[in-house]
Homo-oligomer: A and B are copies of this chain.
Amino acid sequence: MTASTDDEDNLRHAEKAKKHKAVRDKMMAGKIGEKGLLIVHTGTGKGKTSAALGMVFRHIGHGMPVGVVHFTKSQKWDTGEAKLLSKFPELVTLHIMGEGFTWETQDRARDIAAARAGWERAKELIRDHRHRMVLLDELNIVLRYDYLPLDEVLAFLRDEKPADKHVVITGRNAKPELIELADLVTEMTLVKHPFRAGVKAQKGVEF
């Protein structure tokens, strides 16, 4: 190892940074432009819904209308996101399935009916040209339990989603066919979780 002065350090850094910027600028210049994306957040880690909400709130910040369908949350849930979304009625259309988690209802026929109602609403929101982004929160759970026919959902997203519309789908166990169809897929992987250490779900963090 050779000794070097701060000046030398700074010079080396500037050269490295210049190269980095050149590569990045070239990459960005090659982009063809905007496109409505089919985005999937899956995996067993935390952050799937939170990251989707982050994008929803970015849209709201830009004044761009969004639609949100929660497929597994009960209407009674007094969540931070529901409270904040409700402050922007001119930008947000929100549909909450209203039956809570499927393991709370213990009634398959009712779950299927609720999933169907949510999906019909989702299609309306996606077709509605006012919305730039539509979030289908926990749709993967609904698909995993076969509460909706996968083929029907895939066909709609492939053939009827407007080209400029972002659709975000969250939930663990995303179907491989959905991942295949998607433009952008992130898997959230659990590295460490405080529930294991006896900490309960907390306001602002989980809801």
Is A132 a contact partner of B194 (Cβ separation < 8 A)?
A: no
Copies in the complex: 2
- Find A61's partner among B28, B81, B102, B108 (CB 8 Å cutoff): B81
Is A199 a contact partner of B37 (Cβ separation < 8 A)?
A: yes
Which of A28, A34, A64, A194 is the most central at the interface, judged by chain B CB atoms within 10 Å of its CB?
Answer: A194
Given contacts A50-B54, A52-B54, contact A198 B30 (CB under 8 A): yes
- Residues of B within 8 Å of A191, CB to CB, are 40, 42, 179, 185-187
Cα–Cα, bound, A48→B31 (Å):
23
Is B79 a contact partner of A61 (Cβ separation < 8 A)?
A: yes
Residue A204 at the B interface, CB < 8 A? yes
Query: Chain B residue with minimal CB distance to A10?
Result: B108
- Residues of B within 8 Å of A108, CB to CB, are 9-10, 13-14, 17
A162-200 Cβ-contact flags toward B at 8 Å (1 or 0): 000010000000000001001111111111111101111
Interface residues of A in 4-33 (CB under 8 A from B): 6, 9-10, 13-14, 17-18, 20-21, 24, 27-28, 30-33
Query: Chain B residue with minimal CB distance to A14?
Result: B106
Is B186 a contact partner of A187 (Cβ separation < 8 A)?
A: no
Interface size band for A: 35 or more
Query: Chain B residue with minimal CB distance to A174?
Result: B191
- Residues of B within 8 Å of A104, CB to CB, are 21
Query: How far does the Cβ of A66 sit from chain B's closest Cβ, in whole Å?
Result: 8
Is A54 a contact partner of B81 (Cβ separation < 8 A)?
A: yes
Chosen A-B contacts, 23 in total, with CB atoms closer than 8 Å, are A17-B108, A21-B104, A21-B106, A24-B103, A31-B199, A32-B199, A34-B200, A34-B202, A45-B188, A47-B186, A50-B54, A51-B188, A53-B53, A54-B57, A54-B81, A55-B204, A57-B57, A57-B81, A57-B84, A58-B79, A63-B83, A166-B204, A187-B188
